[in-house]
């Protein structure tokens, strides 16, 4: 098993159970030194797509999943890795049990552009369902779209 750090819509456990049915949630945690942003407006159906960028002093809330080998390819397809939309990046997730090495998806496009209201709402709902702190969820809900 490899560890995957899910942010944005993949924080929704119900969604992940369909995308990676053999891969349980292990923990929740934070990517320190990263921030959630949006980019690649020309790539999405409804505006800019979620991604993360390095940013000292910032944090991104994540769900840490044990990804079974049979689910890795499916998740890569869903995230558009073969199409060059996202690529994998190695990160360190800070959990209550310590620091864990993991991988996540990063958008292959420049930061900028606005997500649709529907997409931003899904990202905020997913964070809330995963147990993100209230202030983190409210900051998501207040972003421009």
The model's pTM is: 0.94
Instruction: Give, as one character, the DSSP assignment of residue 132.
Output: -
Residue positions forming the annotated binding site: 119
Tokens read off for 13 = 């456990």
The active-site residue out of 72, 79, 122, 128 is 79
Q: What is the CATH number of domain 2-132?
A: 3.10.490.10
Q: What is the per-residue pLDDT for 144?
A: 94
Residue 79 among the catalytic residues: yes
Beta strands in the chain, from DSSP E residues, in sequence order: 2-6, 25-39, 49-67, 86-95, 98-107
Domain residue extents for the chain: 2-132
At 88-103, the pLDDT tens digits run 999 999 999 999 999 9
Q: Which residues pair with 101 in a beta bridge?
A: 92
Query: Do the beta carbons of residue 16 and residue 7 sit within 8 Å?
Result: no
Mean local confidence (pLDDT), 128-145: 96
């Amino acid at each position: 098993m490899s560890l995957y750090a899910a942010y944005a819509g993949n924080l929704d456990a119900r969604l992940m159970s369909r995308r990676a049915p053999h891969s349980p949630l292990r923990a929740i945690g934070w990517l320190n030194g990263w921030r959630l942003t949006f980019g690649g407006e020309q790539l999405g159906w409804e505006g800019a797509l979620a991604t993360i960028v390095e940013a000292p002093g910032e944090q991104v809330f994540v769900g840490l999943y044990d990804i079974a080998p049979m689910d890795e390819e499916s998740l890569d397809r869903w995230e558009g890795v073969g199409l060059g939309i996202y690529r994998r990046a190695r990160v360190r997730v800070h959990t209550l049990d310590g620091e864990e090495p993991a991988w996540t998806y990063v958008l292959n496009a420049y930061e900028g552009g606005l997500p649709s209201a529907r997409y931003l709402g899904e990202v905020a709902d997913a964070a809330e369902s995963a147990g993100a702190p209230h202030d983190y969820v409210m900051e998501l809900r207040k972003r421009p779209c």
